[in-house]
Amino acid sequence: MKLVGKHIIKDLSGYVSVRPEDDEDMWHLYNLIQEGDNVRAPAIRRVQNVSATGSSESHRVRTTLTLTVTRVTFSPSTTPSNAESSSTLPSEPTASLQVTGRVAKENAYVKLGAFHTLDIESNRDVGIEKHEWDSIALERIEEACVPGRGAEVGAIVCGEGIAAFCLLSQHMTVVRQRIDVPIPRKRTGSATAHEKGLARFYDLLYQTFLRHIPYSSPTLRAIVIASPGWVRDTVFDYIMAEATRTGNKALLGSRSKFVRVHVTSPHVHSLVEVLKSPEIVSQLKETKFAREGIMLDKFFKMLASDEQRAWYGPDHVALAVERGAVGTLLISDELFRSSDPVLRKKYVALVEDVREKRAEVLMFSSMHESGQQLNQITGIAAILNFPLDVEVVEAEEREAREEAERKEEAGNADDS
């Protein structure tokens, strides 16, 4: 995403103008734009003209509208399956973002207060005006506009006859394509149909790989082939053999990026297992999403073995933060999309408090498998530096509140 313009004054009100370029940028905008913000972007509006004779005709005009936002809708990329022919591979999927609201600035085509829905488009400028830009929103703008950002891992999660091709960046797991080729069972005495089915599958897999995995990109750190059994080894051997046969020097030069990993299931959710594997951890230990996967795994293991150091849920985590016990805060970006500004400010303040205490904060994307797992346990968790008993802490908090109430009542009685 490109930063086109930015003007934020001391009270943190102001606007930012950006130019989204890909699916991940749409995701960033979805997380940035809140109910009540003003958003300015190109729009197509149907206009109806009435002639002097009373007849009417309508036509579409391209204009620029400013809306006061009432709803934001994000639709991730869709990935249709293609089972037979690489010659009919569909075009690359794209995410979509719609912003609905009332027109805040009247123009020649649209009246003030009219409802409209903006379809946010790639490579077209979008202006966002907020009454208050908090630290989380400003941090996201800064991250999204880092030059050279792109997918860091390409992955093929496969089994016999099926495969999903994924790209993992800091904030998203995008399934670029799925393939499913029926392979007849291997029968005694005749394996011809089985072998033909496998040949179709490997050929389609190779062609899909070339189309959807940017293997020669300098930002791509690893290409993972994950599967149960030994399918991953056969897939890797076939890709290298075809690259040699066709003289694909770029692919052969990327051989060192390939990592083969065993997973229990040939489906996309197995990427969580991939990110925890020692082979990937050693290569991607500095990447954001790998760190998230490692720490989420650590949290669940601690929850099973030492639950007094693994707390989750908004109220419990807030208590742990108050006690200065949090070593690592795990929080989902979904919590910051609340339409309630008070609730959003509560989570922003919590993150800032943890950072002030020099503890680690990991902001999980709900477009990664690890973020979806965190959302299943309220979207917020913490690994504590020292054990705390939930019941004891809650009892102490109740006693402190009751004591404060007694003092307040005694003070009121003295005043009377």
For the chain, give every domain's residue range.
2-144, 153-286, 291-394
Average pLDDT of the residues in 316-345:
92
Same fold, 2-144 and 291-394: no
Residue 315 in this model has a pLDDT that exceeds 70? yes
Residue 168 in this model has a pLDDT that exceeds 60? yes
pLDDT in tens, 349-403: 999 999 999 999 999 998 888 899 999 999 999 999 999 887 877 787 777 777 7
pLDDT in tens, 187-215: 765 568 888 889 999 999 999 999 999 99
CATH of domain 153-286: 3.30.420.60
Cα(53)–Cα(125) distance, integer angstroms? 40
pLDDT in tens, 240-277: 999 999 999 999 999 999 999 999 988 888 888 887 77
SS3 48: strand
For the chain, give the mean pLDDT. Answer: 87
Length of the chain: 416
Average pLDDT of the residues in 41-50:
81
* Extended strands (E) in 204-255: 222-227
Residue 85 in this model has a pLDDT that exceeds 60? no
Domain 291-394, CATH homologous superfamily name and number = Ribosomal protein L30/S12 (3.30.1330.30)
CATH of domain 2-144: 2.30.30.870
Q: Which of 116, 141, 168 is nearest to 4 (CA)?
A: 141
Q: pTM of the prediction?
A: 0.79
User: In this structure, are residues 44 and 27 in contact, taking their beta carbons and an 8 Å threshold?
Assistant: no
Average pLDDT of the residues in 2-19:
94
Among all chains, which residue has been given the structure tokens 């620029």? 64
The distance of Cα 160 from the centroid of its chain, to the nearest Å, equals: 29
Cα(204)–Cα(164) distance, integer angstroms? 12
Q: Which two tokens stand for residue 6?
A: 């930015």
Confidence band of 179 (pLDDT split at 50, 70, 90): very high
Cβ-Cβ contacts under 8 Å for 67 (sequence gap 6 or more): 38, 39, 40, 99, 100, 101, 102, 103, 104, 116, 118
Output the pLDDT for position 88: 42
Pairing state between β 360-364 and 326-332? parallel
Least reliable range by pLDDT among 68-72, 80-84, 98-102: 80-84
DSSP conformational letter for 266: S
Least reliable range by pLDDT among 5-9, 84-88, 122-126, 252-256: 84-88
Output the pLDDT for position 256: 92
